[in-house]
Chain A
C-alpha cells in the first residue's frame, strides 16, 4: 500500500511537471477534411508559420475519409475532444456549430478587414453581426479538356451550349474516346460537376440563387428548370456504364486519356498536374442560346475557425491572425493550385491553369452553389435532393420537369421564404 501511495505521488509529480513543460510550448491541433493537403501543411505552411512563431507547435490532423468529416467533427465537438482549430464547411453547418457555442466569434481578430463581404458571407450569422471563421479559399467550376484529343480531332474550345454539344457529338462520331468523363454513381458528381457547374448561366447566378431564397424564383420554372434540361442533353455523351462509375473512375477516365472533356472544378488541378501526361486546357461553362453574360460558380469552400472550448485560445488566435496575411494567401494559393484565396491581397498565381480559372472572375459574374445558403436547413435537405435528382435525370430515370418539380416540392415542404 505504501508503495502504491509513493507511486501515485511520483506519478502526479511527473504529470504536473509535464503540464508546466506544455505551457511553455503550445500545440495546436487543426481538424480538417483535406487529407490530400497533409504534406503541404506539414512541409510548407506550418514551417512558414513557425518561422514567425517558433513557440507554437501546429498539428494538422485530417480525417481519413472526407465524407465522414461532418459527422466525426460534430461528435468530437459534443464530446469536447475536438482540436483547437476547426476547418469550417461553408454556411449552415458551421453556423450551427457557432450557434451551439462550439465556435468562437472572430469579430475582433486583427486582419479580418483583409476579407470582403462576399468572402465572409459563408461564415457569418444571418444578421451579419458575428463572423466565426477565417475564409481560406474558394473553388471555381469549369470544364477540363484533353488538348491532345482536341488537336487530333481538330476541335476548339466551345463558347456556347450548341458548340459544346456539337463537340461532344464529334468525339462520339470518332469513336476512339468517351466524350465526357463523368459518372452518376456517387450522386454528388451529377449535382456538383453537372447541375451547379452549368446552372448559373441559366439562372443568372446570384439573381436566381437569391430569388430562390426570397421565394420569387422556383426550381421548376425558367432558369433552374432549363439547367436540368441542359443536363439531360448530356445523356448521349456519357461514358459506357456511367450509372455505376464513381468519382475516382471519372478522374481516371480523364487522366488516362480515355475521355475528351471532364466537367469539374479547379480543385482537380493539383491531382491532374501530377497524373495526366497530356496537355490540358479548360473552358468555362458554355453559354446558353442567345445569352451574353457569363456566370461561374465561384464557391466559397473552406475556412478555419476557433474551437470555443480550446485551452489555447491565445495561440490559436495568433495562428488565425497569421492566416489573414499576404504570406499565407500566397502560400495557400500557389501550393494548392485551384484553391483561390478569398482575401483582398494581390496574389501572383503561378500555375497557368489556376491563373486561367482565376481570370474568369474578371470576365464572368461569380455565384455560389444554389442550395448551400439557408436552403439546406430543413428536411429534406435541398443539397441532397439535388444530388439524387440530378443523378436521376442523367440516368434517364426522371425527366427534367419531374426532377425539377420534386426538388421544388421538397423545398416547399419546409421552407417559408422570408419566414
Chain B
C-alpha cells in the first residue's frame, strides 16, 4: 500500500494543466524578456558580431551627453503622460461610473457603449481622426473653439502643447476602461449596505465617500497599476500621430518611441539593437519598480485591512 500512496502523491494532472500556460508564457514572454536583458549587456564588436560589455550600455544611456538628455526627456514626458491619465482619466472614469450606476440617469446602456467605443478603435485610426480634427487647415477644432472664444492653435505642432494634447487624446480614447472597472465594482456593492446607510441618514455625498469609495479601493489600486504599466509601455498613439521621432523637437518622445527609434533606426540612422535592448531594460526596471511599490505598499495594506475588517 505505501507504494500505491507514493504513486498517487505525484500530481500528474497539475503538471498537465499547468503545462500549456507555463510553456507558452516561458516561450513567448519570459525567454524574450531574459534574452532582451542579455542583449543589453552586449555591444557591436569591431571585428563584427557582438561582444560582452557588462553594464557599459546602461552607463552610456545614463551619463553620456547625447543619450542621457534623450532618456531624461522620454522619462519626463512619460511621467507627464502618466499624470494626465492618473489624475484626469481615472477620476473622470470614476465620476462617469458613479453616474452610470445611479438610479437617476436614463439611457445608461447608450452612454456606456458610446464612452467605451473609442477603446476598441485602432490607434492609427484615433491618431488620424484627431490629426484631422485638430488640423489648422481642414480641422473643425477652430470653429468649435471659437464658440468659447479660444483661439485655435496648431496644438500638435507646438512644443509646449503637443504632449498635453496627445495625453488628452489618449484619455479620450481609454476613459472607457477605468469606467467599466469602476462600474463593475460599484454594482457589486450590496444594496443592504447602502440602504442601511440611507436609513441612518447618510447624504449622497457621504454615501459615496464613506461607503462606496472604501469598498472599491481595491479597484482603484488595480486601475492605477494598469494605467501605470500601460502608460510606460505606450508607443502606438505617439507613433501614429507624431511619428517615431516624437516631434516636434522630441517634445512627445516617450520611452516607447525612444526605444523603437534606437532599435530599428530611422531614415539614414541604422538600428542599434543593443542600445535598444538597453532602453527596453530601463523600461522594464521602471515598470517593475512601479509594480513592486504597488504590490508591497498598497495591495498588502489592503489585505491587512480586509483581515481586520
Instruction: Give chain A's interface residues, CB within 8 Å of chain B.
Output: 67, 70-71, 74, 89, 91-93, 96, 183-188, 239-246, 249, 252-253, 371-372, 376, 379-381, 383-384, 387-388, 391-392, 395, 397, 410, 413
B309 within 8 Å of A (CB atoms):
no
B156 within 8 Å of A (CB atoms):
yes
Q: Inside 8 A of B138's CB, which chain A residues have their CB?
A: 249
In the complex, the answer to whether B134 meets A244 with C-beta atoms within 8 Å is yes
Closest 7 CB pairs of A and B: A241-B136, A243-B157, A244-B157, A244-B154, A381-B269, A241-B154, A243-B154
| Cβ contacts B135-164/A at 8 Å (1 or 0 each) | 111100000000000001111111100000
Q: A186-B247, A388-B249 are in contact. List 9 more A-B contacts (CB 8 A).
A: A93-B268, A96-B270, A185-B156, A185-B157, A376-B268, A381-B268, A383-B267, A384-B245, A392-B249
With A241-B136, A244-B134, A391-B247 known to touch, is A71 a contact of B157 (CB < 8 Å)? no
CA distance A244 to B135 in the complex (A): 7
Q: Inside 8 A of A70's CB, which chain B residues have their CB?
A: 265-267
Closest to A239 in B: B137
Closest CB-CB distance, B273 to chain A, in whole Å?
10
Closest to A381 in B: B269
Which residue of A74, A89, A241, A253 contacts B157 across the interface (Cβ within 8 Å)?
Answer: A241
In the complex, the answer to whether B248 meets A243 with C-beta atoms within 8 Å is yes
Q: Inside 8 A of A71's CB, which chain B residues have their CB?
A: 264-265, 271
With A240-B136, A371-B268 known to touch, is A187 a contact of B153 (CB < 8 Å)? no
B219 within 8 Å of A (CB atoms):
no
Which residue of A74, A183, A184, A241 contacts B270 across the interface (Cβ within 8 Å)?
Answer: A74
Q: Inside 8 A of A392's CB, which chain B residues have their CB?
A: 248-249
In the complex, the answer to whether A242 meets B268 with C-beta atoms within 8 Å is no
Closest CB-CB distance, B156 to chain A, in whole Å?
5
Closest CB-CB distance, B201 to chain A, in whole Å?
55
Q: Inside 8 A of B250's CB, which chain A residues have their CB?
A: 388
Q: Inside 8 A of B269's CB, which chain A residues have their CB?
A: 376, 379, 381, 383-384
In the complex, the answer to whether B270 meets A187 with C-beta atoms within 8 Å is no
Which residue of A74, A372, A397 contacts B271 across the interface (Cβ within 8 Å)?
Answer: A74
CA distance A383 to B245 in the complex (A): 13
In the complex, the answer to whether B157 meets A249 with C-beta atoms within 8 Å is no
In the complex, the answer to whether A242 meets B267 with C-beta atoms within 8 Å is no
With A241-B137, A388-B250 known to touch, is A188 a contact of B267 (CB < 8 Å)? yes
In the complex, the answer to whether A185 meets B270 with C-beta atoms within 8 Å is no
B305 within 8 Å of A (CB atoms):
no
CA distance A301 to B122 in the complex (A): 34
18 A-B pairs within 8 Å (CB atoms) are namely A71-B271, A241-B137, A242-B136, A243-B157, A243-B248, A244-B155, A244-B158, A245-B136, A245-B157, A372-B268, A383-B267, A383-B268, A384-B245, A384-B269, A387-B267, A395-B249, A410-B66, A413-B65
